[in-house]
Amino acid sequence: MNSNVAIEYRKDITDYPSGKYYYNPSNKYPEYPFGDEIAGEENPVYDMVRNTLYSMGYDRDNFGKKEWNPLGDIIKKNQKILVKPNWVMHINKAIDDENDLRALVTHPSVVRAIVDYVYIALTNSGEIYVADAPMQECNLEEALKKAGYEHAPRAKRDVVEKGIPIDTFNGKDSEGRRMAVYKFGNWEEAKKQNSIAKTKGRNNLSDKLKQKLIKENGSKCALYGEKFDESLLQAGPDGWNGVRMAREIDSSYLTNLFYTDHYANDTKEKLSEKFAEAYYGKYGEWPDSYAALGYDSLMMTAEAIKRSKSGDPRSVAVELGKTIDFEGVTGKISLDTNHDAIKNVFVLTFQKGKPVLLEKRPTGEL
């Protein structure tokens, strides 16, 4: 085991990256185990952690190669690994800004980078825990939220969707409140289920068209970039408007594609921008069309309740049917005699792997 000490310092770095991209690296390093899960913003912290491991002399012969495993001499397959950051206190009484916890709570961007290299060393086995013993008066939940650890449920969901097993347990924070605890699950069982899980879907297109696509493109799944038995492949148009679409699919597949949606984040309209920024501030990701439509539906119903001056469902339904030119985050909405929405349709495409709004068109022009 190497006992060297290394320090990585950069004067140009004044803040940590945001949690928008789960603290993914902004460079696709050869050893990086999660494919195209790359941040859309600079993440110098990940780079600095990586450089520190190299400076300490860990597996230097393989640096710059896919095989680089800097913690491979320390961590062995099937081990249980505890990553111990500093989670000291939820307020900083030593400075004027008590919410500045940089000296008290290790930022999650540092932990994320370390966990990635632990994951590489375990080679799809073992268990990883992230834990610390804070001061007795620490409100751990508040400390973690302030420091940027609030993305755990969403990160867990995305990891599971990648076929990586995660087990969830009930735990308690420092004040006895219930909280979720995650750990990696049974890898061997996950391998058995992974091929089937990846190919579940809807058979929306005809067998004739499916066979034509297979003949032209081979038996390769466009979502995962892997070859499967023809009987397992599914074809269907759903999902283009999902917020994870651009970051889960190789950008080479997202060319010359056009689709319609109910909403787009880059409309440059004040109401939409205000909604998107508030949503991102609360959830750490930009809203998709379902979130926007759900919000508009709720606000339209609230307006109908005000107009009806009653909580009676029938009266509210009547007023809701009278909706004309409601200013929503998805645009101006009116309901026709069939209660169908009359509103603009958003035409989008992908540019550099990201969804981009091309134009808005009234429903009747499509």
Q: In the prediction, which pLDDT does 207 show?
A: 65
Own/partner long-range contacts of 226-234 (Cβ < 8 Å, ≥24 apart): 226/198, 228/195, 228/198, 228/199, 232/195, 232/196, 232/199, 233/199, 234/199, 234/200, 234/201, 234/202, 234/203
Q: In the prediction, which pLDDT does 25 show?
A: 94
92-105 burial string, b = 16+ CB within 10 Å, else e?
beeeeeeeebeebb
Structure tokens at 59: 């597996």
Q: In the prediction, which pLDDT does 160 show?
A: 65
Distance (Å, rounded) from C-alpha 86 to C-alpha 108? Answer: 10
Distance (Å, rounded) from C-alpha 315 to C-alpha 321? Answer: 10
Structure tokens at 131: 């834990």
Structure tokens at 296: 């508009």
Distance (Å, rounded) from C-alpha 143 to C-alpha 147? Answer: 6
For 137, what's the count of Cα atoms within 13 Å in the CB-facing half-sphere? 3
Instruction: Output the pTM of the full model.
Output: 0.49
Q: In the prediction, which pLDDT does 259 show?
A: 76
Would you call 103 helix, strand, or coil by DSSP? coil
Q: In the prediction, which pLDDT does 348 show?
A: 81
Sign (positive or negative) of CA dihedral 129, 134, 138, 142: negative
Q: In the prediction, which pLDDT does 201 show?
A: 45
Provide the residue-wise pLDDT of the chain in tens; the chain has 366 residues.
Answer: 556 788 888 888 888 998 878 889 999 999 998 887 888 889 999 999 999 999 999 999 999 999 999 999 999 999 999 999 999 999 998 888 888 898 999 999 999 999 999 999 998 888 888 888 888 888 888 888 888 886 655 566 666 665 667 776 666 666 666 555 666 666 666 655 555 444 444 444 456 666 776 777 677 665 556 676 776 655 544 556 655 566 666 666 666 677 788 888 777 788 988 998 999 899 888 888 888 999 999 999 999 999 998 878 888 888 898 898 899 999 899 887 777 888 888 888 877 777 888 888 776 555
Would you call 61 helix, strand, or coil by DSSP? helix
